[in-house]
Structure 1
Amino acid sequence: MEETVGVRILLDLIGGVALLLWGLYMVQTGIVRAYGARIRRFLGRVLKNRYHAFAAGLGVTAILQSSTATSLMLTSFAAAGLVQLGPALAVMLGANVGTTLIVQLLSFDSSIISPLLLTTGVLAYKRGARTVVKDLGRVAIGLGLMLLSLHLLLDSLAPAEHVPVVRALFAAVTNEPLLTLLIGAVLAWASHSSVATVLLTMSLVSSHFLTPFAALALVLGANLGSAFNPLLEGMGSGNPAHRRMPVGNLINRLVGCLIFMPFLAPIVELLESFYQNPVRLVADFHTLFNLIMALLFILPLNLYARVLEKLLPEVKTTDDLTTPIYLDASVIETPSVALACAARETMRMGDIIDTMLQQSMTAILTNDRMLVGEISDKDNAVDRLNEAIKLYIVKVTHGSLDDVEGQRAMEILNLAINLEHIGDIIDMNLMELAGKKIRGQLEFSAEGAAELEEFHRIVRDNLKLAMTVFLSGDVKAARQLLEEKSRIRELEFAAAEKHMARLKVGRVESIETSALHIDILRDLKRIHSHICSAAYPALEAAGQLNRTRLKPPSIRIGKKKQFSMNMNGRIAKEEAGN
């Protein structure tokens, strides 16, 4: 009987934790959807001073309710070279303190707030006319679910207090402080959240399943475990420099555990003399730990950053698509050489786009889920390279450039921007269509697939032609590239006509994939328009580009009058003949 009760309590515990994690996820995604871009811009502005960065990390994490999310965002900034290591580490110190604010807020009795948040959130999500209102409704639902999960955990654990088997199990697991710390670390790593682990610890200590000593050991483990997720996320990069920030944060957590573990027993005795409520004891210890570690590391942060830079030097590898290879900072003072480096990096960016374009059609025609994920990763690499090229060009233009160099700098920027737009179209549009086709298990007709493949082949061929024009400035090739725009329009019109003919005869495959077929043609045509933009600089430099394709109004009026006169003359002749 006791074993059955123990199993049921364990299942209730797992369900409560799952609900807590889901609520935390809803809050985080709701905030990111509503204000993610503003948060990233805000971080980009304040990451100049370590104290400002500390405050920013505290505030952003209190909003996102996840130091892991803040860490992943900062890791991407640091990898792209958008933020120095010292301020990034300061943000993480603030983020670790920010998580304690969430725990402090949720440690108070909030049984009345939960249903209010759930009701308000559902109404905002279902009835909200604006996207931001819906996202904030999602946040309110997430907060309500988190509070509800805490009450469910307390209610499900209350009967278990008198079950010897359950109490013996918890006592055995948390008897050794080092083992307890490791359990807390694993829980925080698995859940991607120290907040969830600390809240679970508060529920267990409130139900007398944990002693205060074991609870504080779990809190230390939770702080340690949450530092592993950003580090493991960045292990795929071949550049050790990309791991500086997560390694620095992990060392901070490790040092904290080494400092606090030997003195855990006297700390418990001291805190118990102030607190009768074990929940408050756990919440305040979590805050105390992170504040002390922030104070300990914030002053020597610049020295700490230099040590990490020596231990994890910058290594550029061709395998890492996100890392620029040719942007040599040492030649920035020589604009002609620096622009050649930027042009080579842009050509490399074009090679990645060509691979994405090739894989996109394979993914669409073969329903390959793996390729969809690979293309998304390549688009992230293209975005990183685009940012790196723009920052590099900005540094080059700080010096004095002649007209030719200034024009070349603008050509490089324009091509990089257009390539980045092509990557977005492939990732956000074509791969979205591929996902719809995969989910619906749809297939194109043989004729339809052949039309798409031919259209796609021409677009890829013209991408290679565009890169040739960019590299050589060949006017003949540039004219040929612009002439291809008319050919693409004609091919799109012809393909649409053939598709409509197949619909008229009732081809099942064509009916099922009609919207997909038309949308893919449209997106490939948009990609081709971005490709053709590479022809304009060469033609403009050669004086072979009109300012506008429209004819002057006087000419059009003259044509209209001439047409009217000709028609009147024909009518007069016909009447005379009659």
Structure 2
Amino acid sequence: MLTLLNLLSAVALLIWGTHIVRTGILRVYGTALRRLLGQNISKRPLAFIAGILVTAVVQSSNATAMLTTSFVGQGLMTLVPALTIMLGADVGTALMSRVLTLDLSWLSPLLIFLGVIFFLSRKQTRLGQLGRVSIGLGLIILALQLIVEASAPITHAQGMKVLFGSLTGDILLDALVGALFAMVSYSSLAAVLLTATLAEAGVISLPVAIGLVIGANIGSGLLAFMSTSMQNTPGRQVALGSLLYKLIGLLLVIPVLHPLVNWMDSLHFDAQTMVIGFHVLYNTLRCLLLLPTTGHMARLCERVLQAPAETHSQAGPRHLDPTALSTPGLALANATRETLRIGDIVELMLGKTLNVLRGEQTALTQEMRSLGDEAEALYSAVKLYLAQMPREDLSERDSHRWAETLELAVNLNLACDLIERMLRKVQQQKTSQRRSFSATGLEELTVLHTQLMANLRLGLNVYLNADPDSAQQLLKEKRRFRAQERRLNHAHVSRLQRQVVQSLETSSLHLELIADMKRLNSLFCASAYAVLGASDTGALMPEAYPDTP
């Protein structure tokens, strides 16, 4: 019982080490890997190589599958290059299994020791995350050693002999067991490494080991397909194509299994080398053989999983991919894109406000209400998405960007509410009291509205690009807006002194709208402070920018 527990704990350590390496690499180089995969790779060889490289770095074909399906789901990549990348991912994980079976026992304590030092001392920096990766690599090597030690007594245990003896080399049964183990361990790499270790210890025969390896590949395909169950149809099509390719590989190897085993036995290599060698050879030949068929597979997947008919509704988030939450850089990029969508809605609502002021449309149409509801839904989605990010693992730069994104989302949501309140005031004035602005008053509101629209666009640009010069310009425009707001208030009071009837009737509404626009302008210009920093107050000093007439 203790021997079995030691084996299970060693397997768990192997899975955990693989997870640490994958998450550490994605947190440090996730944006670069996403950029590599996100390029429009039209040539199959380039996409194939990209899949190999990314998977070799993150040590997980499942992680590559998550990135790729996310791209396809967001319309950033077509199905054919995505399937090609997935074939390359299968080769990449096979190559990593070969590297990890080398004699690296001396390296494990060194990697763990250095990794702990860097991770604890500089946790929030890139060097600290690389220390996390070092810990994971050390744990993987240590786990493999523990598996070998724990497997040795199993070969003499009668119960284990009966259990593994039930696997007689039936490739379909062995493949099923291998697929189940890969799904339980959430890693085909861990399943293959354990299979090689058990074969080396003599617990399982070579034909059984080959079946388990093939099944582990199928299990990783099932994992990828199940993980995309909540994604849209294009993302699921990628996972389906990858799974079908793995099943085709099983069908291709069945007729040649016995001749292949006999040939491998004649090579007189140790069992571990033959199992890992078969894994590399099988995945490489299978993927190269199926590489020219990605176009046909894409069409098949599109027929099997047909996308639902598109609707004209724009509500709901488009870019908040939950699979990217483990990679802060990727998740923040998604949140940025969704927050800018809220900005687009605010700009649209603000643009329609001018038509309401001019009396060209009803104050609160159904379209305006729908835009407000959509902005509220996007704000809630962005807020919850940011809340799910592991903030303790964010770098200083990413933490700053996280705060910027949340602040902008809050400000834009407040702006939507404020615009709706402005429209209700106008509606009440025009419908219940039948009053309208004077020509001069309407012109003044139009001028202020034009400045407000320009500052909104500049504020979104400052948030997106984090350009200090644009931020300085935004603060300059904020002060100009304040000066303009004061002049318009004084001009309105002057009309009241001249007893202009329309100005007298709409005085309260006129001044309230100017005050509301001032609040909106403050919300739109807040992004400048995040770029320039709290210490940069010179931009608001009166002598910095003289009032312009």
Same fold (TM over 0.5): yes
Amino acid at match of 1:271: M
Match of 2:259 in 1: 266
The equivalent of 1:98 in structure 2 is 92
Query: 1:241 — aligned with what?
Result: 234
Residue matched to 2:223:
229
Q: Secondary structure at the match of 2:72?
A: helix
**Greater Cα shift, 108-117 or 68-77:** 108-117
Matched, 1:465 2:420: yes
Aligned with residue 120 of structure 2, among 126, 132, 153: 126
Structure 1 CA distance for aligned equivalents of residues 90 and 202 of structure 2: 27
Q: How far does the alpha carbon of each residue in 1:161-183 deviate from its partner, in whole angstroms, 9 at most, with x for none?
A: 22222212211245543222101
Match of 1:182 among 148, 170, 176: 176
Q: Which residue number corresponds to residue 35 of structure 1?
A: 29
Per the alignment, residue 58 of structure 1 pairs with 52
Task: Give the letter for the 1:297 counterpart.
Answer: L
**Could you tell me how far apart the structure 2 residues matched to 1:32 and 1:379 are?**
13
Structure 2 unaligned residues grouped into runs of 5+ = 321-330, 344-371, 393-409, 428-436, 457-518, 526-538
Residue in 1 that maps onto 2:434: none
Distance 1:146 1:433, change over 3 A: closer
Q: Any idea what SS the aligned residue of 2:166 has?
A: helix
Name 1:427's counterpart in structure 2. 384
In the TM superposition, what is the alpha-carbon distance from 1:276 to its structure 2 partner? 2.3
5 Å-filtered alignment, 1:366-515, equals 426-427=383-384, 459=414, 462=417, 465=420
**CA 1:274–1:384: 2 relative to 1, 3 Å:** farther
Shift of 1:532: 5.0
How big is the shift at 1:382?
A: 7.1
For the 8 Å contact 1:65–1:99, the answer to whether it is kept is yes
C-alpha deviations, 1:35-57, integer Å up to 9, x for none? 10111012122523221010000
Worse-matched range after superposition: 149-158 or 306-315: 306-315
SS of match in other structure, 2:228: helix
Quote the Cα distance in structure 2 between the aligned partners of 1:280 and 1:167. Answer: 22
**Cα distance in 1 between the residues matched to 2:273 and 2:391:** 51
TM-score normalised by the chain length of structure 1: 0.60
Does residue 15 in structure 1 map to residue 3 in structure 2?
no
1:146 equivalent to 2:140? Answer: yes
Q: Where does 1:251-330 land on structure 2 (aligned, <5 Å)? A: 251-316=244-309, 325-326=311-312
Shift of 1:310: 3.3
Cα separation, partners in 2 of 1:420 and 1:296, compared to 1, 3 Å: farther
Question: Larger deviation: 107-116 or 12-21?
Answer: 107-116
Q: Contact conserved, 2:120 with 2:128, CA < 8 A, in 1? A: yes
Shift of 1:243: 1.4
Q: 2:38 & 2:121 partners in 1: Cα distance? A: 34
Question: In structure 1, what residue type is equivalent to 2:86?
Answer: M
Counterpart of 1:290 in structure 2: which amino acid? N
Query: Over residues 278-333 of structure 1, what are the superposed CA-to-partner deviations in whole Å (9 max), with x where a residue is unaligned?
Result: 0010001101111111111111322332332333333246xxxxxxx43xxxxxxx
Relative to structure 1, the CA distance from residue 124 to residue 380 in structure 2 (aligned partners, 3 Å threshold; closer, same or farther) is closer
Q: CA deviation at 1:419?
A: 8.9
Shift of residue 112, structure 1, vs aligned partner? 1.1
Deviation of the 1:156 alpha carbon? 1.1
Q: 1:309 to 1:160 in 2, by over 3 A?
A: closer
Which residue does the alignment assign to 2:131? 137
* CA contact 2:338–2:382 (8 Å) conserved in 1: no
Check whether the contact 1:78–1:242 (CA below 8 A) recurs between aligned residues: yes
Q: Distance in 1 between matches of 2:385 and 2:33?
A: 22
Residue deviations 1:337-367, cap 9 Å, x none? Answer: xxxxxxx73xx359x99xx9xxxxxxxxxxx
Correspondence for 1:114? 108
| CA deviation profile, 1:391-418 (whole Å, cap 9, x unmatched) | xxxxxxxxxxxxxxxxxxxxxxxx9xx9
Alpha-carbon distance in 2 for matches of 1:279, 1:554: 74
User: How far apart, CA to CA, are the structure 1 residues paired with 2:244 and 2:542?
Assistant: 68
Higher relative contact order (CA 8 A, sep 6+): 2
State whether structure 2 residue 153 is matched by structure 1 residue 159: yes
Distance of aligned partners of 1:299 and 1:316 in 2 relative to their CA distance in 1, 3 Å threshold: same
* 2:185 matches 1:191: yes
Check conservation: 1:383, 1:420, Cα contact below 8 A: no
Shift of 1:138: 0.7
CA–CA distance in 2 between the matches of 1:280 and 1:112?
Answer: 20
Amino acid in structure 2 at the alignment position of 1:251 = L
Q: So what's the TM-score if we normalise by structure 2?
A: 0.63
Q: Distance in 2 between matches of 1:18 and 1:207?
A: 19
For residues 247-272 of structure 1, give each alpha carbon's deviation from its aligned partner in whole angstroms, at most 9, with x where no partner exists. 11001000001111232222111112
**Cα pair 1:67 1:99 within 8 Å, conserved:** yes
- Structure 1 vs Structure 2 CA RMSD: 4.5
Of 151, 156, 162, 1:168 maps to 162
Distance 1:431 1:104, change over 3 A: closer
CA separation in 2, counterparts of 1:549 and 1:210? 75
Q: Deviations over 1:25-78 (max 9, x none)?
A: 000011011110111012122523221010000000000000000001100100
> Separation in 2 of the partners of 1:211 and 1:467?
77
User: Which amino acid in 2 is paired with 1:48?
Assistant: S
